[in-house]
A and B are shown apart, each in its own frame.
Chain A
Amino acid sequence: MSDATGTTIDLEKWEIVVGLEVHAELSTRTKLFSSAINQFGGEPNTNIDPLTLGLPGSLPVLNEQAVELAIRVGLALNCTVQPNEFSRKNYFYPDLPKDYQISQFDRPIDDEGHLELPDGTVIGVERAHLEEDTGKSTHVGGGGRIHDAGHSTIDYNRAGVPLLEIVGKPDIRSADQAKAYVSELRSILMAVGASDGKMEEGSMRVDCNVSVRPRGTTELGTRCEVKNVNSLRSLGRAIEYEAVRQVDMISAGERVQQQTRHWNEDDGRTHKLRSKEEADDYRFFPEPDLVEVDPGEEWIERVRAALPVLPAARRHRLSEASGVDLAKTAIVVERGLDELCLAAIDAGADPVRTLTHAEHNLSDERSLDLDPGAFASLVTMETGGDLTATQAKQVLAEMVSSGGSPADIARAKGFEAMDNSELEGIVDDLIAGSPDEWQRFLEGDTKVMGFFVGQVMKATRGQADGKVVTKLLNSRR
């Protein structure tokens, strides 16, 4: 592998270890502790109220919808949903209105779970906890960082928006796996309606902890936490850059220092923000303005019963129904086409052809509206020889864009299946009219096959099935 600067590390000698912390904004109507609206965008400082601004005398009241979404995510990630409490994380920063963040520390709502990647790899989840988001600072002038800015503006619309911080275990072993983890997590969050998953709007933010170690060893290396990773692409690049940097350091006889580092998209490097020693002492203590939250079995079971079938289970279901490899079902499930495929297979369509169409010919969003029976008929027409692969693809495209039955569309396009006896006559006429070519074919020149197939196609204006023509030619040998 190599990083952005082209440096490479030897993956036979080194192993990359990654643990991800994903902050997901929950799609609640209001903020985590107040009735101010939770909405992205909007004029600065319009979705605010006394608590959002940390005004004296304001008090937090927990948003039940946020708890419900946290329970959904917890169950979807196979976590134990437990009685939990909030703590204060104290630090001074202008975009933190109370100069403390209400978060969960000792007792998070979701404890110990896992998620399964499309290839079947299982990644551990340590915990998921609720906390409030901060406002957004914009530093004007200087380098866009607070220290050399001319002045700063703060928008508190985001302050108090509910976040679920999902802390993954250091089970990830490559940049690609990290990307797969985030994609999978995003699918789960969206499936349970917890988040819109928009990384570009900051609905999902990823911090990655990266360390390296000699392959074959089990002890974890010293990690660096990389912040400001705003897309899947930069996540991959940041991990690769950071791994190379650390291997280079170790190879040069240096020690990796535990640091928080900032990913810079422009230069493709990570830069030191602060060392472990410079880290804030957050002086956590139990939030006295809130009481313990005990969701209780009844609530948890009600949420569990209402959960949709999750991506991993859908992949397994489709793989089992189709006999197609698990990893190949991922894209179909991601597009939400698994129900369609299952119904089509159920209606007798060939499973492999069904999935092949879903993977290659159904990227259009309108595919979700396809009638499963019609889709099954199309696949059966193709496997039954009534349509060629090319024709089937065209008919399917028409079905997606304007609806209609495959038989009607095929007829309208003139894709009538050739009668074999008619085709036999054409083939025999062709053999008779091309004795030299036929002789070469008989002598084993397989390239001449193409000539014959092409001539038949020309004579039938493309209506003949190539496979049938080949079969006929071989039978005349």
Chain B
Amino acid sequence: MTSKPGTYPTAIDIAVSVRSGERTASEVLEDHLARIGSSDAEIHAFNHVMVDEARSTAEAVDSAVEAGENPGPLAGVPVALKDNMCTRAVPTTCSSRILEGWKPPYDATVVQRLGVAGAVVIGKTNMDEFAMGSSTENSAFGPTRNPRDTSRVPGGSSGGSAAAVAAGFVPISLGSDTGGSIRQPAALCGVVGVKPTYGAVSRLGLIAFASSLDQIGPFANTVADAAVLLEVIAGHDPGDSTSIDEPFAELSPHLDDGVVGTRIGLITEMMGEGIDADVAARTREAADALEAAGATVEEVSIPAVTYGLSAYYLVAPAEASSNLARYDGVRYGNRVEGNTTDEMMFATRTQGFGDEVKRRIMLGAYALSAGYYDAFYGKALKVRTLIRADFQVAYEKFDVLLSPTSPSTAFPFGDKTSDPMAMYLNDVCTIPTNLAGHPAISVPFGAGDDGLPIGVQVLAPPRGEQQMFTTAAVLESAAPGDAE
């Protein structure tokens, strides 16, 4: 099966029609539920569809409209959530056996904000277990298929959320991005994906993978929809100590500002070895398109990004080894019994976690262990500082930077599962922004030789989302016709 993005109503269109009374939220919801019903058996974007909850939310939105109230900027818009965001009394699994059946007693901050904005949360999407992976093949509940070519992966770890948007199950969704987990699947599924500045979106209620890197962000079919969704979920949350205590940028009013005079740097290190020729070609065409729209484009070297992957695979597993320690069978989630407490914990974790999760826990525990800390974790922190410094130098000369999002288009199932290193290399262009804490967006820009979507990444300095979105909007309008 194949389907094309852009053929479904956008979130903005839906909200306008619901607010005006032209359509009801319930009608909108039923349309989307019907699409999920007919196609998700094949795609498997969802772990759990919240039919009853979504229907009562939609009814509440409709009542508000009838009462003459404004239900908010996302009035009646169906939204899917990656299954690592806590939803009260609704299963939240991280696509792991260890949390199968667990229902959080609270909503994540982003879920609360979606509710206030009038959105209708429709379900929880599949992912690589605990967000560890780049293909959604590491889900304990089976992989998600790429709606653009169901023989291929949707990317990951937020593969379910990307596929849900690409398949028209929802106009917008949320994913989380620790090393590229929003942008890479967005590129592979041909949709827009945003990783905001670290601290722009509250992590309260996001089940942690690597706390210093994790950030929630939007998927959408259009840059404008992604902007509205990000405006709804961003902003200070006193419940997250790493949340930025400043108002978030206005994005939507500036989408048509254009790029005349914008200084754009094309990252040299992300255009050579390891990047497929068609991906590099589309990225250069994107640069040309921006130049044609009035921007100046130059190549820029950011040497430290070449150490990004190595540093990431120390920092992220180290934090994960600690964040995932709590799944011990004592308080919640699945428990496998044993003769002693230690045996119970051991059995629970052995059976509850998949191979990739175990691999990273071991890597991380090793990197933090006595005598190795300085050589591994300590050094990775230094690389992080170095990457931040190199970006800072580049941003003195450039407003935004440009690179491919992923080295290749969507790959077939099983292609990289036996070689973790080949899988990890998928994130070589996305990881540096996470290490630096900066924002980046992936915008679809043409197709590869195989006809599958290619994404181009716009990177910006911390809290530079406004210019990043303006640039992305220009790219979106300049993108070649849909892939054939």
Binding site for B on A (CB under 8 A): 50, 53-62, 88, 90, 92, 94, 97-100, 146-147, 152, 154, 281, 283-285, 288-291
Contact = CB atoms under 8 A, between A and B. Distances in A.
B325 A61 contact: no
Nearest to B331: A53
B241 A60 contact: yes
Contact of B345 (A55, A62, A92): A92
Contact of A291 (B86, B99, B242, B319): B242
B237 to A, nearest CB: 9
Interface stretch (B144-152, B365-373, B387-395, B454-462): B365-373
Contact of A90 (B102, B322, B340): B322
A52 to B, nearest CB: 10
B436 interface: no
Contact of A57 (B104, B325, B340, B370): B104
A407 B108 CA distance: 72
A97 B204 CA distance: 18
A97 B325 contact: no
B92 A56 contact: yes
Nearest to A56: B207
A399 to B, nearest CB: 54
Given A88-B322, A283-B322, A61 B242 contact: no
Contact of A94 (B207, B330, B369): B330
Given A90-B325, A281-B369, A283-B322, A59 B340 contact: no
B417 interface: no
Given A283-B368, A289-B211, A56 B322 contact: no
A55 B323 CA distance: 11
A57 B86 contact: yes
Contacts of A58: 204
B207 A57 contact: yes
Contact of B322 (A50, A60, A100, A290): A100
26 contacts: A55-B104, A55-B105, A56-B86, A56-B94, A56-B207, A56-B208, A57-B106, A57-B204, A57-B206, A59-B203, A59-B241, A61-B240, A61-B241, A90-B322, A92-B328, A92-B342, A98-B326, A99-B326, A154-B330, A283-B368, A283-B369, A283-B373, A285-B368, A288-B211, A288-B319, A289-B242
B238 interface: yes
A291 B244 CA distance: 11
B106 A285 contact: no
Contacts, number: 98
A214 B356 CA distance: 56
B318 interface: yes
Contact of A99 (B106, B319, B328, B342): B328
Contacts of A59: 203-204, 239-241
B331 A97 contact: yes
A154 B332 CA distance: 13
Nearest to B365: A283
A297 to B, nearest CB: 21
B105 A94 contact: no
Given A94-B341, A285-B322, A57 B108 contact: yes
Contact of A61 (B102, B105, B106, B238): B238
Nearest to B92: A56
Nearest to B381: A286
A61 B204 CA distance: 11
B212 interface: yes
Contacts of A60: 241
Nearest to A148: B340
Nearest to A152: B341
B353 interface: no
Given A99-B325, A100-B322, A56 B99 contact: yes
A-B interface, 6 closest residue pairs, ranked by CB to CB distance from nearest: A99-B325, A288-B212, A283-B368, A288-B211, A57-B86, A56-B207
A319 B380 CA distance: 58
A50 B225 CA distance: 33
A146 B377 contact: no
Interface in B299-351: 318-319, 321-322, 325-326, 328, 330-332, 340-342, 345
A56 B326 contact: yes
Nearest to A146: B341
Contacts of A285: 318-319, 322, 368, 373, 377
Nearest to A88: B322
B85 to A, nearest CB: 8
B370 to A, nearest CB: 5
Nearest to A93: B341
A283 B326 CA distance: 15
Interface string B114-130: 00000000000000000
B6 interface: no
B419 to A, nearest CB: 28
Given A90-B368, A154-B330, A285-B373, A290 B241 contact: yes
Given A57-B108, A98-B325, 10 more contacts: A53-B331, A56-B86, A56-B92, A56-B326, A57-B92, A57-B204, A59-B239, A61-B238, A61-B241, A283-B321
Contacts of A61: 238-241
A56 B104 contact: yes
Interface string B45-71: 000000000000000000000000000
